Structure 1
């Protein structure tokens, strides 16, 4: 379903972490839905430009913009670029994040601080700009994780950052009362992305696959479908964390 601000002007989406993984798939899906997409990336311009080329080849509209999600000046410039190029911002999908795993007792605090900066501060900084700039009828979609409920060993620090995202999401939805802007989070379960599969043995991957009653890992397309729903037709879904995990919990 495509919702336009007018009969001739497409809606505009910013997707952080849009150059790879679930973020890229979400960017491609939103472009296929008819939105103009700003593919935000942190450090790999080649991947971001490739994402733009794929979207344009499929008939969509996209541009790549570099921004450190934890840097308020760079995020403000990201939103400026979207407004200057496309006239405004209707949807913000905050998919940027990192995952560093270790038992709580063994995790290097430098890794904890790095995850906190990107996953928590980044969500806060992007959320600030989104709250100030998203137009009426728009949507803010954060990325959480089902691991906040599954509580897998080695995920304590990562799950803590996503618990913070959950709290920000639910509170921001209430703070935007009267704006006609929805705020939700998607919480993927085990999903076959390079970020998820990195460092896991075949036995571990099989164990995680069987956690779902559907007996498979999720795919980026599965998650992008939920993002598309929240970004477009789901106007009565607000202040929610949607667990897209195939029934793991």
Structure 2
């Protein structure tokens, strides 16, 4: 990757935020049957649409993006588009039914499917450090943190303990993974050094710590906590896309 792909940063960060919110809102629907949720599903849908709009700027010809569906049998990128479309349709169904139980469950499941497909899409073989399950781990942690951070805005449900647990796990993963890379091959070691020198990487950790501290204040700082948590996710995603070294480096950048 080695480029700060802003369209992909925005797309993955916001789509996984939407997935996390869908999972938490579906959980609330099944645990509190009488709650009305149309506003919450509308917000989730808007966030997903913004992410899809941002993703279109990653294409050379956005209006010809439908050609990406041609290779769905072999390309994870094509499958990602289908998964995002299915997730959007499920969110629309949950909105139109005012949070009917099966519709919310479908939205949550399609959100999970989207994150799995994204984890496979961005585990590029040329990126030795992340050509594994690591992208999926980060994406599910994003959904956990952002879903918990935004839940009080959607349903007035307290989620601070879950948020703090997710933040701690995210910080630990950001610290431990580069240490593991340091004991790996040349490309992994280069990635570890690049992440360690990245302002995005350290800025992400600092923002996560700030979000953790803000969450202690509970309802008084919910919007600020969600905003800072999103900033942390975006910064970590910039490090992921821009500071992860490719094997192309060792063969003279032929393309």
Higher normalized helix content (fraction of residues): 2
- TM beyond 0.5: no
Question: Which one scores higher on RCO, CA 8 angstroms, separation ≥ 6?
Answer: 2
Range class of TM-score, shorter chain: 0.3 to 0.5
